């Protein structure tokens, strides 16, 4: 029986394992050095915050793996010997494979800052990182202040976590507004305000230069490029992630920043595939980045590679881009492409609406010549994935999207709706006279 070995038990590796099992009877082994069972990395923050126990982050009960004949091995793979199709483990043993899937995910970026490897300095990615936060920042007595370096999604999550234990947080952001490499200005500004509302000391346009140790090799302060020294007991490094592929350096597998793969997710070596955060496309797909460190893309690659391995050669062809996040109390969803001022083309125009008091806003991107709808960002309003996916496929124009916006709303029942206000502003700005259509189940579910 063909033996499929998967390195990494994150969302990509486990999705691949599950789908291979659905499609075939192959022998499946999943190796991880991190944890015994698959857990949701995105939920680690909720464990620290006391919303959940670690067990709750595991989507499958322990019996699931046995029942589905997915063998779990807790070990660290030191090297891949593709000539003999062998994996050499740290502990000395080796495991042979017929087909190998590399799904080792990411590791937090460190940019050579002095003191970056001190105790109490870490990212937030793995279970071990969670244990680290719990150890170095269990409360505001042990940790009188924390400094977070890097203004992205994980940075703001770490800040939120620490604030739930009343630990003062200083948040260093390189950009002059939070995440404005991705978010348009209005949205970025709103999140700046929201961060301050949560009593997080947000320092924009500020970089870390050095982390200063105490006599025990533990971080005691940091220095910024504005010559400010901030005393702290914990430093979170959240300036992005990069593929966790160091162990493959001398394996003969083609490595760029990540494991180089083609659209079939194949590496340069036959029978070795790479998926998820650690995979790097030879050429970026559409507007996507060559390395996509996103939960959803990891899952999609897992689904795709399972098809290929089970004899149905399938290219990784992600559909319309979508993503979501939560900034403290504000939910964010995006469908299609909305670029920030820094990276958008001239032909991409934005319509922005923001609620006068609440932390609610949307930005709709459209083409300046054709008015074709390009994408939407929403904050504090939930939208229906299917609807936007359909509108993007049908290449609707922005007026159509406005007219039928009520179909797309996904907020819970009895919530206040803002379509009227949004469209009123749209009409004023664009000189149109769109009247919103009432929500229709028939349209939403395409019932004739």
Partner 1 sequence: MKTIKNIGLIIFLIGLAIFTALPVIGTYSLSSEQFSDFVDQKGIKSELFITDIEQNIVDKSFDGMLAFAPKVTKALENANALHRKNKEYKKVIYTKPHDMAAELGKKAGSGFIVDNKGLMWFLTFGLGIIGALMFILPNVVLLGQKGIKNNGIYHENATNRGWIAWLVFIFLVSFYLILYFRSEYAVNWTYLVDPISQSLSGNLAGQWFVYGFMYCVVMVVMAIRMYIKYRHNMYQMVRTTSVLFFQIVFAFLIPEIMVRLQMPYYDFKNAFPLDYDFFFQWNLKSLLNSGGIGLFILVWGIVLTLVIVPVMVYFFGKRWYCSWVCGCGGLAETLGDPYRQHSSKSLFSWKVERWLIHGVLLFALVMTGFTLYGFFAETSTVLGIKVQSIMDTYSFLIGAVFAGVIGTGFYPIFGNRVWCRFGCPLAAYLGFVQRFKSRFRITTNGGQCISCGNCSTYCEQGIDVRAYAQKGENIVRSSCVGCGVCSAVCPRGVLKLENGPEQGRINPTQVLLGNDPDLMELVNNK
Footprint of partner 1 on this chain (CB under 8 A)?
A: 11, 40, 42-43, 46-47, 49-53, 56-59, 61, 63, 164, 197-198, 295-296, 299-300, 303-304, 307, 312, 314-315, 317-320, 322, 324-326, 328-329, 331, 333, 382-386, 389, 393, 410-416, 441-442, 444-445, 447
**Which secondary structure element, helix H or strand E, spans residue 19, and what is its range?**
helix 11-23
Q: Which of 123, 107, 138, 106 is nearest to 235 (CA)?
A: 123
50 versus 92: smaller Cβ distance to partner 1: 50
> At its nearest, how many Å lie between partner 1 and the CB of residue 145?
20
> At its nearest, how many Å lie between partner 1 and the CB of residue 348?
22
CB atoms within 10 A of CB 335: 24
- Rounded Cα distance between 228 and 119, Å, is 21
> At its nearest, how many Å lie between partner 1 and the CB of residue 285?
10
11 versus 159: smaller Cβ distance to partner 1: 11
**Cβ atoms of residues 383 and 417 within 8 Å:** no
> At its nearest, how many Å lie between partner 1 and the CB of residue 248?
26
Helices (H), 98-151: 127-136
3-state secondary structure of 395: coil
Cα separations in angstroms, 321 against 289, 309, 333, 335, 356:
11, 25, 11, 6, 29
Q: Which of 255, 282, 259, 289 is nearest to 102 (CA)?
A: 259
> At its nearest, how many Å lie between partner 1 and the CB of residue 445?
5
Buried b (16+ CB within 10 A) or exposed e, 355-375: beeebbbbbbbbeeeebbbbb
Q: Which residues pair with 242 in a beta bridge?
A: 107
Is residue 226 exposed (0-12), middle (13-18) or buried (19+ Cβ within 10 Å)? Answer: exposed
> At its nearest, how many Å lie between partner 1 and the CB of residue 227?
33
DSSP-derived secondary structure letter, 436:
P
34 versus 303: smaller Cβ distance to partner 1: 303
- Rounded Cα distance between 84 and 316, Å, is 28
> At its nearest, how many Å lie between partner 1 and the CB of residue 272?
22
**Cβ atoms of residues 382 and 333 within 8 Å:** yes
> At its nearest, how many Å lie between partner 1 and the CB of residue 107?
20
3-state secondary structure of 429: helix
240 versus 318: smaller Cβ distance to partner 1: 318
> At its nearest, how many Å lie between partner 1 and the CB of residue 250?
34
∠ CA(400), CA(405), CA(406), 5° rounding?
A: 135
- Rounded Cα distance between 135 and 425, Å, is 50
Cα 84 to chain centroid distance, Å, stands at 35
**Cβ atoms of residues 350 and 184 within 8 Å:** yes
Q: Which residues pair with 87 in a beta bridge?
A: 80, 95
3 versus 382: smaller Cβ distance to partner 1: 382
> At its nearest, how many Å lie between partner 1 and the CB of residue 239?
22
> At its nearest, how many Å lie between partner 1 and the CB of residue 315?
8
- Rounded Cα distance between 159 and 147, Å, is 9
- Rounded Cα distance between 68 and 81, Å, is 28
117 versus 193: smaller Cβ distance to partner 1: 193
> At its nearest, how many Å lie between partner 1 and the CB of residue 9?
13
94 versus 409: smaller Cβ distance to partner 1: 409
110 versus 326: smaller Cβ distance to partner 1: 326
**Cβ atoms of residues 130 and 41 within 8 Å:** no
């Amino acid at each position: 029986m063909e033996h499929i070995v998967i390195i990494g038990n994150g969302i990509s590796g486990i999705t691949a394992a599950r789908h291979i099992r659905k499609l075939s009877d192959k022998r499946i082994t999943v190796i991880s050095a991190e944890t015994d069972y698959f857990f949701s990395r995105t939920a680690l923050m909720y464990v620290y915050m006391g919303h959940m126990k670690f067990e709750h982050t595991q989507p499958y009960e322990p019996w699931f793996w046995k029942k589905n004949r997915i063998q779990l091995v807790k070990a660290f793979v030191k090297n891949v010997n593709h000539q003999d199709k062998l994996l050499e483990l740290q502990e000395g043993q080796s495991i042979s494979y017929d087909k190998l899937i590399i799904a080792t995910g990411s590791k937090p970026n460190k940019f050579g800052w002095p003191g970056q490897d001190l105790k109490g300095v870490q990212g937030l990615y793995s279970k071990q990182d969670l244990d680290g936060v719990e150890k170095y920042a269990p409360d505001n007595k042990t940790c009188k202040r924390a400094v977070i370096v890097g203004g992205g999604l994980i940075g703001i999550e770490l800040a939120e976590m620490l604030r739930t234990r009343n630990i003062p947080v200083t948040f260093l952001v390189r950009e002059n507004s939070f995440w404005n490499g991705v978010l348009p200005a209005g949205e970025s500004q709103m999140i700046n305000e929201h961060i301050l509302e949560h009593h997080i000391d947000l320092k924009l346009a500020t970089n870390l230069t050095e982390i200063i140790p105490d006599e025990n090799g533990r971080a005691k302060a940091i220095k910024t490029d504005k010559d400010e020294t901030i005393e702290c007991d914990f430093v979170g490094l959240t300036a992005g992630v990069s593929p966790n592929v160091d162990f493959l350096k001398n394996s003969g597998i083609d490595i760029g920043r990540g494991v180089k793969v083609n659209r079939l997710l194949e590496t340069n070596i036959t029978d070795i595939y790479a998926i998820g955060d650690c995979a790097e496309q030879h050429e970026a797909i559409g507007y996507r980045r060559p390395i996509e460190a996103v939960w959803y893309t990891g899952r999609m690659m897992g689904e795709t590679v399972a098809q290929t391995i089970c004899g149905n050669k399938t290219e990784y062809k992600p559909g319309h881009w979508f993503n979501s996040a939560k900034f403290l109390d504000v939910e964010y969803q995006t469908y299609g492409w909305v670029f920030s001022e820094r990276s958008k083309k001239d032909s991409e125009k934005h319509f922005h609406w923001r609620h006068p008091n609440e932390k609610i806003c949307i930005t709709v991107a459209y083409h300046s010549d054709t008015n074709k709808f390009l994408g939407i960002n929403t904050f504090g309003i939930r939208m229906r994935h299917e609807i936007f996916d359909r509108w993007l496929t049908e290449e609707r124009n922005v007026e159509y999207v406005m007219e039928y916006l009520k179909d797309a709303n996904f907020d819970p029942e009895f919530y206040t709706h803002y379509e009227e206000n949004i469209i009123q502003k749209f009409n004023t700005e664009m000189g149109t006279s769109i009247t919103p259509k009432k929500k229709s189940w028939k349209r939403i579910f395409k019932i004739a």
